Amino acid sequence: MRAIIQRVKRASVTVDDEVIGDIGKGLCVLVGITRDDIPLDLDFMAKKIAGIRLFDDSEGNPWTKSAKDVGGGILLVSQFTLCAQLKGNRPDYHDALDGSLSEGMFNQLVEQVKKIHGDNVATGRFGADMDVMIVNDGPCTIEIDSRKSEYLESSMYSRVGQKNVEKYFRQLEKQAQIEANRKAKAALKQQQKAAKLAGELANIAHEAEAKE
């Protein structure tokens, strides 16, 4: 899991001319989820995002306070392009986790950050074409890759077990299928309502013609 953490004076996400997430002072975090990521990556990244000390204390000492310490917000934005590998000059995104699974993992990351940081956490809209406004304070930008961090040295597979990893992704797939089914049922319901309304309008028109 990869994250670009920026200390900001303000940041926001706009979709279709509507601001859907915004913060003042705090952190704007762009997140890329890879095919190799597992729950340990989530835990590691949530703790780093919520705990990273990029702010001064009241005496002006740098790098001593987290966003929560200074009453700041956190804006989390999913960005699969962080998983790119360049082949020549063309980016390749095969390392990025598939959309439905990635959305589930991103939502879990958001919830874990909220548990640590509190409710002052905003997000973009997964998979949407977003306009992201960032006023970087400093500038101050930190890159974190969970796959280059110390937790890997403890042998993650011995800690979580391969079966647990497989179970976790099966759960994500199940959640993605449930959400897809819910959206399909909602769309069908809307189509049925539209068809019923069209039928009623046709009957009204037919009756009007008969009276004439």
Task: State yes or no: is 191 an active-site residue.
Answer: no
Token code pair at residue 207: 């009756």
Q: Is 128 helix (H, G, I), strand (E, B) or coil?
A: coil
204 near 196, Cβ under 8 Å?
no
Task: State yes or no: is 79 an active-site residue.
Answer: yes
The active-site residue, picked from 34, 80, 112, 123, is 80
Task: State yes or no: is 55 an active-site residue.
Answer: no
Token code pair at residue 139: 């500038």
Angle at which helix 99-117 crosses helix 162-211, to 10 degrees, equals 110
What is the rounded end-to-end Cα distance, in angstroms, of the chain? Answer: 70
The active-site residue, picked from 6, 34, 55, 79, is 79
Residue type, 117: H
Active site residues: 79-81
